[in-house]
């Protein structure tokens, strides 16, 4: 994987989290980008009901929803706490 990119709304939501959680979630995203098959990670699950194939990365009580673009870019579309739901 090459990298990741945040949707502006997802980035804004991430900035509302506690600083330690922001760092932790970004580290998980970076780790996912280093994998040769990021969709096979046990913390990644395909979501239903979205227009294009959307996946979620879980870290504790926080979730990052993303789509895979050009097979080398994670485009993070949403970041939310578990209490917010899907």
Nearest CA among 84, 64, 62 for reference residue 76: 64
Please give the CATH architecture assigned to the domain spanning 3-84: 2-Layer Sandwich (3.30)
Percent of the chain surpassing pLDDT 70: 94
- Domain boundaries defined on the chain: 3-84
What's the pLDDT score for residue 42?
82
CA 38 to chain centre: 11
Q: Would you say residue 9 has pLDDT above 60?
A: yes
Strands 44-47 and 3-6: unpaired
pTM, whole model, 2 decimals? 0.84
């Amino acid at each position: 994987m090459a990298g990741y990119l945040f949707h502006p709304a997802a980035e804004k939501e991430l900035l509302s989290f506690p600083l330690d959680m922001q760092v932790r979630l970004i580290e998980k995203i970076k780790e996912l980008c280093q994998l040769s098959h990021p969709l096979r990670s046990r913390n990644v699950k395909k979501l239903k009901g979205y227009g294009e194939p959307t996946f979620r990365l879980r870290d504790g009580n926080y979730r990052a929803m993303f789509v895979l673009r050009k097979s080398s870019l994670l485009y993070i579309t949403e970041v939310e706490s578990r209490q917010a739901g899907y």
